Amino acid sequence: MAPWAGSHRFSVAPMMDWTDRHCRTFHRLLSRRALLYSEMVTTAAIRFGDRERLLGFSAVEHPVALQLGGSEPAELAFAARVGEDWGYDEINLNCGCPSDRVQSGRFGACLMAEPDLVAEAVAAMKAAVRVPVTVKCRIGIDDQDPEQALPRLVSAVKAAGVDGLIVHARKAWLQGLSPKENRTVPPLDHALVHRLKEAHPDLTIAINGGIADLETAAAELVHMDGVMLGRAAYENPALLARVDREIFGEAVEDPDLFAVVEAMRDYAAGVVAAGFRIANVTRHMLGLFNGRPGARLWRRILTVEAAEPGAGPEIIDRAAAAVREAMAAAEARALARAAEGALDATAAE
């Protein structure tokens, strides 16, 4: 089944320096159904770079989409074809990243100003591949009126045959705000994206931006075909363990977090055996126990000990043991308080 036939309902955003193959393997252990995205890869990198390093992934990651950065239709078509040959389930064009480096290459959010070029790129990619071709965009840039800029872009790419859109419900300011500030400072306008979906009921549209939990995601799905979470999913990955049941409606038990840790320990052992640092893996796992007893110790062990020379998967064992111990201690304290409360109630009778 193509990703946009179902998995678009919930996806994890493409995030530079974050959603690499190790991160995606971790996230896949938490959710079988979420659609995962690569980091953005430029067309020049695909043409001239190390494709195994840039594009390689494990079969367990499916469904997984490749996000491309570029603006030249012929080069995007070439890169899309390479991505399809590598086995990606979807090709996504980045029209939302506001960084200076991206702007200097004439791609990312600045393409919001060139809807006809984006449409030409989509048409070229559609002609080159059989997998779905999608676009991720903002609602506008700089002084654009989103009420005009967003519908103009959507109409253009829809006519070009785009299979779906992911709309980050904020403007991007290409001058004056950093990429980090562009993720939080421009105000959200979810209502505009809802109206866009109403105007295009036949086009698959997902919403991104400001969705911090599954309750908010579920509320958005009343209006939209899909939701995309970025930082919330990365910083609190345990929420992904509820996605298959709460978002996709599957009658399944949520994955046990310690079973996920054990699987990642085995995965990390393979990464280390291949000559890579275990920190490449553990850095993505830091938020797994956020809000639970032992979370701080878990983060410290995986951060500090993973950086030591020769560190191996045993540090994951130590971190997990520390969390188990902290959880057991917290449970013992809770039981003791409950017992004291029961005694006080009896004495008061």
Output the domain CATH number for residue 221.
3.20.20.70
Choose between 130 and 97: higher pLDDT.
130
Q: 122 in a domain, yes or no?
A: yes
**103 Cβ partners below 8 Å, 6+ apart?**
109, 110, 174
Choose between 349 and 124: higher pLDDT.
124
| Judgement on whether residues 273 and 232 belong to the same structural domain of the protein | no
Each residue's pLDDT tens digit, 274-286: 999 999 999 999 9
Choose between 339 and 8: higher pLDDT.
8
Residue 230 assigned to a binding site: yes
| Judgement on whether residues 189 and 294 belong to the same structural domain of the protein | no
| Judgement on whether residues 264 and 153 belong to the same structural domain of the protein | no
| Judgement on whether residues 121 and 150 belong to the same structural domain of the protein | yes
| Judgement on whether residues 261 and 235 belong to the same structural domain of the protein | no
| Judgement on whether residues 278 and 320 belong to the same structural domain of the protein | yes
pTM of model > 0.85:
yes
**What pLDDT is stored for residue 28 in this prediction?**
98
Task: Tell me the mean pLDDT in the region 13-28.
Answer: 97
Residue 168 assigned to a binding site: yes
Q: 340 in a domain, yes or no?
A: no
Active site members: 97
| Judgement on whether residues 9 and 42 belong to the same structural domain of the protein | yes
Q: 47 in a domain, yes or no?
A: yes
Q: 341 in a domain, yes or no?
A: no
Domain membership of residue 307 as a residue range = 257-334
Is pLDDT at 102 greater than 70 in this prediction?
no
Residue 231 assigned to a binding site: yes
For residue 5, name the pLDDT band (cuts at 50, 70, 90): low
Give the total number of structural domains in the chain. Answer: 2
For residue 122, name the pLDDT band (cuts at 50, 70, 90): very high
**What pLDDT is stored for residue 344 in this prediction?**
62
- Given 196, 214, 246, which residue is the final one in a domain? 246
Residue 136 assigned to a binding site: yes
Is pLDDT at 2 greater than 50 in this prediction?
no
Residue 280 assigned to a binding site: no
Output the domain CATH number for residue 286.
1.20.120.1460
Beta partners for 204? Answer: 164
Lowest mean pLDDT among 181-190, 297-306, 339-348: 339-348
